[in-house]
């Protein structure tokens, strides 16, 4: 099925997103207005993004010593994105926003990611501005955030440093008060920053008038020392070009210098930079040090950043999902047109018979079905989590409470599962193309290269797994786990109820397909029940004993089993909503069947090492490698 049909089904038939228009915040909206946004984004993605996906891969960003040069198509796509209003999709009407539910915003952004993930939409700019709307002063919102929402300025997130990636407690960037009047600056307490930030996406370009960096740095105490760990980290607004209180450029360049571009495996359309803050290349008022304005309270910078994590991680998961689906659509097209080989059996031995198309081979169907199950399953999970974000912001007290706990445990999964399994999907898309898939004449190799980033950024796979097993499932005596269990139980009960109602309304001789689907779904429900019980038991088994290092040694297999169980739940729930005739419903039933037959059983091996607290990896002496 085409992407739009799948999105429409998940948004409206499965998640009943149109129901949120009952809420005051969304009461000016209707399914028509949601559709209009989806139509616009689909059209821009088709016209301004998809045709240039290869161009931005080949014409990598370059630095001429003064400016970063990007292909013209990137500016065109960026301008079209700004004009669509998507940068302020979720904002209030009175500041020029659309007051869209996040679920619709996330679904609309999916079209851009599918068409060209590395031309990119506004994920970083929107994330940056949202953070300022939450933690900034009124003037910081006015000067920086609003100019990001209207597209004048772009935003970045500067956390990583060459020596501090996963471990942000080791950031070495320092911020010192800028003069005696530093606390009186209307834009916020003013500091001078010095340090290096590595891997900064969109860190330098000419797409916008200005770039607003959000930078993590430590403020030394009177003794010149900083507080060790993450507690001493503060957050600063560091504009590339200095601005006045009206948001106008003052004409002064801030002391932020591009030290170099990173040349990446994929995602090449997005410029990635090493930035030097405060090295003196662009002295401000005669001295070195990048001018930065404190956001929120000193020492609480990481907490401010973490407020944005749910949406950022859903965004990364959805980008991974879209790359997975892009590979699926490309390999599906290829499999329908390429002829190769003859069927297994006597007819296949006759070379005078014409060859069949790839899609007629069972093994090719296996690889297509796997991609469909990974991609559409991940899309369901991404939109489900996006809906939880809407519950968190606009639901009643009980809905907010549940959404918060569910997002705690689902956020590591919504980021990591698509990153791992849609990468596998992209590999299968190459496989379906055979040797052609290994060349640059077809799109699938680029999808794989672009995809490979997702297990690395926004918290690596290993770090996400430790966050899940080491923190999220333990919080408040496992409250998130318990709430997720209740949702899974509700779907299982629905499958039982569905089977009963099919039996009730059908005569024994009719509805063969309907009946057999209902029986299958009930069987899957029982498999899901068992899988969930096993995950919960493994959670307890992992924490037996008093050696946390050993408990966490198999965090990744734990997260894989957890993720597969969550996806099995998604597929069962989606399949229960896919009743009736039609290829789309049939396809979803088959993908659900595939997931339960070919994927869910894998969790046994993953949970075995968790349950037995297997120490094979942890015990391996370095010298023995
Ligand atoms: C293309 C790209 C874009 C990026 N964009 C940005 C950006 O815009 N802003 C920004 O701030 N950062 C950005 N990053 C940085 C990214 O978030 C980091 O690369 C990531 O956090 C990992 O840090 P690292 O590369 O230093 O790897 P390391 O932290 O050195 O990790 C290397 C490996 O060791 C593992 N590991 C690390 N610590 C542990 C541990 N305690 N236990 C077990 N395993 C561990 C990791 O899981 C990983 O597999 C980007 C990175 C890339 C590649």
Atom of ligand 1 nearest to the CA of 157: 9
What's the pLDDT at 515? 87
Q: How far is the CA of 162 from the centre of ligand 1 (A)?
A: 10
Best mutation site among 128, 165, 557 for ligand 1 pocket (most ligand atoms within 8 Å of CB) = 165
CA distances from 146 to 123, 133, 138, 287, 339 (A): 15, 9, 11, 30, 54
Q: What's residue 110's pLDDT?
A: 96
Assign 508 a pLDDT band (cuts: 50, 70, 90): confident
Angle (nearest 5°) at CA 201 between 196 and 204? 75
- Which of 465, 460, 461, 444 minimizes the C-alpha distance to 371? 444
Mean pLDDT over 77-87 rounds to 98
Q: Average pLDDT for residues 12-17, to the nearest whole number?
A: 98
For residue 203, report the phi and psi dihedrals to the nearest 5 degrees. -70, -25
Looking at the DSSP assignment, which residues form a beta bridge with residue 155?
Answer: 212
What residues pair up with 243 in beta bridges, in sequence order?
249
State yes or no: pLDDT of 347 exceeds 70: no
| pLDDT given at position 139 | 98
Question: Which atom from ligand 1 is nearest to the alpha carbon of 162?
Answer: 26
Mean pLDDT across the chain, nearest whole number? 96
Pocket-forming residues, ligand 1, beta carbon under 6 Å: 157-160, 165-166, 199-201, 264, 267, 272, 453, 456-457, 460, 462-463
- What number does the ligand 1 atom closest to the CA of 158 have? 11
| Residue 4 parent element (H or E) | helix 3-8
First to last CA, the chain: 47
pLDDT of residue 249: 98
Mutate to test the pocket of ligand 1, among 156, 160, 550 (most ligand atoms within 8 A of CB): 160
DSSP 211-272: EEEEEEEE---TTS---SSGGGEEEEEEESEEE-TTS-EEEEEPSEEEEEE---SS-TTS-E
Give 563 Cα–ligand 1 centroid separation in angstroms: 21
At 311, the pLDDT band (50, 70, 90 cuts) reads confident
**CB-count burial class (<10 Å; 0-12, 13-18, 19+) for 261:** middle
Contacts of 243 (CB under 8 A, 6+ apart): 143, 187, 210, 249, 250
Q: For 444-503, what is each residue's pLDDT tens digit?
A: 999 999 999 999 999 999 999 999 999 999 999 999 999 999 999 999 999 999 999 898
């Amino acid at each position: 099925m085409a992407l739009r049909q799948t999105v429409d089904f998940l948004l409206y038939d499965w998640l009943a997103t149109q129901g949120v228009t009952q809420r005051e915040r969304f009461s000016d909206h209707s399914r028509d207005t949601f559709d209009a946004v989806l139509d616009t984004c689909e059209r821009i993605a088709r016209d301004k993004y998809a045709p240039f996906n290869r161009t931005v891969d080949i014409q990598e960003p370059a630095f001429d010593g003064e400016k970063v040069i990007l292909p013209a198509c990137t500016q065109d796509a960026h301008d079209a994105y700004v004009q669509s209003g998507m940068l302020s999709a979720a904002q209030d009407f009175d500041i020029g926003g659309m007051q869209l539910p996040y679920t619709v915003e996330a679904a609309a952004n999916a079209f851009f990611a599918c068409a060209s993930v590395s031309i990119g939409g506004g994920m970083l700019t929107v994330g940056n501005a949202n953070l300022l709307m939450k933690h900034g002063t009124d003037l910081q919102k006015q000067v920086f955030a609003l100019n990001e929402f209207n597209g004048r300025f772009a935003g970045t997130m500067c956390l990583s440093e060459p020596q501090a990636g996963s471990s942000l407690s080791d950031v070495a960037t320092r911020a010192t008060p800028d003069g005696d009047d530093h606390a009186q600056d209307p834009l916020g307490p003013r500091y001078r920053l010095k340090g290096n930030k590595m891997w900064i996406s969109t860190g330098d370009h000419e797409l916008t008038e200005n770039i607003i960096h959000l930078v993590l740095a430590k403020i030394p105490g009177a003794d010149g020392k900083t507080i060790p760990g993450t507690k001493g980290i503060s957050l600063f607004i560091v504009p590339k070009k200095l601005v006045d209180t009206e948001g106008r450029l003052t004409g002064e360049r801030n002391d932020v210098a591009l030290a170099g571009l990173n040349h990446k495996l994929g995602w090449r359309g997005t410029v990635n930079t090493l930035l030097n803050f405060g090295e003196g290349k662009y002295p401000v008022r005669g001295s070195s040090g990048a001018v930065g304005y404190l956001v929120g309270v000193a020492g609480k910078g990481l907490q401010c950043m973490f407020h944005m994590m749910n949406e950022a991680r859903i965004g990364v998961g959805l980008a991974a999902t879209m790359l997975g689906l892009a590979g699926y659509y490309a390999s599906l097209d290829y499999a329908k047109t390429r002829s190769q080989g003859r069927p297994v059996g006597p007819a296949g031995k006759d070379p005078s018979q014409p060859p069949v198309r790839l899609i007629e081979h069972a093994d090719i169907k296996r690889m297509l079905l796997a991609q469909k199950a990974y991609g559409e399953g991940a899309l369901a999970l991404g939109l489900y989590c996006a809906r939880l974000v809407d519950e968190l912001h606009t639901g009643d007290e009980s809905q907010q409470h549940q959404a918060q706990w569910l997002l705690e445990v689902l956020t590591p999964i919504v980021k990591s599962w698509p990153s791992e399994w849609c990468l596998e999907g992209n590999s299968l898309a190459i496989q379906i193309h055979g040797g052609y898939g290994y060349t640059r004449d077809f799109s699938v190799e680029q999808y794989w290269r672009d995809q490979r980033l997702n297990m690395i950024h926004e918290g690596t796979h290993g770090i996400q797994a430790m966050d899940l097993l080491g923190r999220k499932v333990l919080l408040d005596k496992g409250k998130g786990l318990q709430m997720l269990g209740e949702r899974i139980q509700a779907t299982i009960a629905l499958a039982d109820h569905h089977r009963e109602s099919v039996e009730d309304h059908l005569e024994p001789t009719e509805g063969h397909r309907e009946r057999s689907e209902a029986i299958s779904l009930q069987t899957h429900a029982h498999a899901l029940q068992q899988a969930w019980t096993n995950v919960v038991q493994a959670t307890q088994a992992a924490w037996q004993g008093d050696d946390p290092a050993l408990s966490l040694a198999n965090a990744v297999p734990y997260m894989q089993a957890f993720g597969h169980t969550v996806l099995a739940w998604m597929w069962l729930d989606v399949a229960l909503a896919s009743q009736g005739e039609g290829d789309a419903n049939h396809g979803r039933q088959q993908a659900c069947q595939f997931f339960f037959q070919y994927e869910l059983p894998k969790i046994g091996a993953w949970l075995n090492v968790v349950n037995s607290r297997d120490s094979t990896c942890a015990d391996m002496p370095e010298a023995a490698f």
